[in-house]
Structure 1
Amino acid sequence: MKVEIYSDIACPWCYVGKTRFERALAAFPKASSVEVVYKPFQLDPTAPQEPRPHHDVLAAKYGPQARAMDARVTALGADEGITFDFDTVLENNSFLAHRLLRFALDTYGPEAQVRLKGRLMTAHFAEGADIGDPAQLAAAAASAGLDAEAAAAFLAGDALADEVRADIDEARLLGITAVPTFVFEGKWAVQGGQETSVFLQALEQISRETSPTPAPSETATCTDDTCAVPTPKP
């Protein structure tokens, strides 16, 4: 089973969704047969490259309620074992980080990309890292087990930029307007940072649905928020 996860590094709910999905995957008996690939999505593709304090950016969008929003996400993250330190978070354009994630996938494979995704999210949300800075991105790559010099050399050019833009355009064509969105086998989608139980149910149902010889009584019915809605491929 292939799971493509459309996600932005600068999205707290994407971090929550990643954590919950991985917990569900760990409990899924057929986890070894699941390939997870992260696909790019930018919540703000027009964001500048220069880092800005998170509180300033959120306050400009939501006004006085911004701090309360952060407090709710911080508490939710703590329940999931995630640290959100919004006092240190820097916001800027995530495109360069998405290019690095594509480089990790193409060069080292899906497992390396998953490790890098987690490292980037931790660096962004808990350590005040600048995800638009090539040196800090190369350091994150090294922490995830990638070659730092190769990552730095890649980031110094513009390789895979067109491919990342094409992936972002593909998300729009698929009708994806919010993240995280988890697309299973290119056919079913689960949107949002759902509870772990929802992701596990989706894995189990879709595994039955795609079984070579499923019993009629085992055909999955994915309704409401518990599983999926069809997602056509272009």
Structure 2
Amino acid sequence: MKVEIFSDVVCPWCYIGHHRLRQAVGLYEGDVEVTHRPFQLDPDGVSSGEPLLSALERKFGGAARVTQMTGHVTGVAAQDGLDLRFDRAVAANTFEAHRLIWLAGRAGRDGDMADRLFRAHFTDGLDVGDPATLATLAAETGVEDTGDGAEQVRAELARARTLGVRAVPLFLFEEKFAVSGAQPVETLVAALREVEARTAQERTVRVPGGEDCDDGACAV
């Protein structure tokens, strides 16, 4: 079964969704081919080394509101064994990070590259928009940065817009069944089984209630 996950490496719910999908694939009885697709919450974002909390406070109206939002998602992530350190995180443009994921995908390593970028941003406090940082992360993951992929990432971002993707994470099964939000592992396993049973039907599987990041904003 083919599963595409649309996400951004600076989206906390995408990190949780990425982690849960990996678990779900391990529990599912069939074969699954997962491909990571790019989505940018802030296409005009600048990698200037600004602390993420400062950017969030400016965007969402102060420290108290941001503390509430980050505390919620940090608690959810901790239950999944993920360490989100918003006090370390750096605001970044993610286009080049997505290009590395695309490059890694040519060798079937896009999941590993995405995982390393998520950890770099949310746990290690690294700037995932910085060229030197990205070069180090690519080398750590065994990805050779040939400089290719920019055109392909732009095309995939355009495809996401054409498909109407406005919030991430979004899981697209067999190019026709969609599940949105950071769903629980058991829900994703059930979705895999349901899609297997419905591959001949032309309708979308929609599972309500998952938390996500909207286009242009992320209420973490």
Please say whether Structure 1 and Structure 2 have the same fold, judged by a TM-score greater than 0.5. Answer: yes
Would the aligned equivalents of 1:24 and 1:197 in 2 still touch at CA under 8 Å? yes
- Counterpart secondary structure, 1:50: coil
Asked which structure has the greater CA Rg, the reply is 1
Looking at structure 2, the residues matched to 40 and 166 of structure 1 have their Cα atoms a distance apart, in angstroms, of 10
Q: Which runs of 5+ in 1 are unaligned?
A: 215-219, 228-234
Which residue of 168, 190, 195 maps to 1:201? 190
Paired residues, number: 208
Would the aligned equivalents of 1:202 and 1:226 in 2 still touch at CA under 8 Å? no
Query: Which residue number in structure 2 is paired with residue 217 of structure 1?
Result: none
Structure 1 residue 125: deviation in Å?
A: 0.3
Q: Which runs of 5+ in 2 are unaligned?
A: 211-220
Structure 1 residue 21: deviation in Å?
A: 1.3
Structure 1 residue 226: deviation in Å?
A: 8.4
Which residue of 40, 47, 50 maps to 1:49? 47
For residues 133 and 221 of structure 1, do their structure 2 counterparts lie closer, same or farther at Cα, with a shift above 3 Å needed?
A: closer
TM-score using structure 1 length: 0.83
- Counterpart secondary structure, 2:61: helix
1:53-97: CA deviations, max 9, x gaps? Answer: 011111011113011111111111110100000010001100010
Q: Which runs of 4+ in 1 moved over 3 A?
A: 220-224
Amino acid aligned to 2:12:
P
Query: Which structure carries more helix by proportion?
Result: 1
Looking at structure 2, the residues matched to 90 and 132 of structure 1 have their Cα atoms a distance apart, in angstroms, of 9
Looking at structure 1, the residues matched to 11 and 206 of structure 2 have their Cα atoms a distance apart, in angstroms, of 26
Could you say what the CA RMSD is over the residues aligned between the two structures, in angstroms?
A: 2.1
- Larger relative contact order (Cα-Cα within 8 Å, sequence gap ≥ 6): 2
For residues 50 and 169 of structure 1, do their structure 2 counterparts lie closer, same or farther at Cα, with a shift above 3 Å needed?
A: same
Q: Is residue 2:19 matched to residue 1:19?
A: yes
Q: Is residue 2:208 matched to residue 1:225?
A: yes
- Counterpart secondary structure, 1:5: strand
Query: Which residue number in structure 1 is paired with residue 130 of structure 2?
Result: 133
- The equivalences for 1:1-234 within 5 A come to 1-30=1-30, 33-64=31-62, 65-106=65-106, 108-109=107-108, 112-146=109-143, 150-151=144-145, 154=146, 157=147, 159-210=148-199, 222=205, 224-225=207-208
TM-score using structure 2 length: 0.88
* Percent identical residues: 40
Looking at structure 2, the residues matched to 196 and 57 of structure 1 have their Cα atoms a distance apart, in angstroms, of 31
- Counterpart secondary structure, 2:36: strand
1:127-164: CA deviations, max 9, x gaps? Answer: 01111122211221222233xxx32xx3xx4x321211
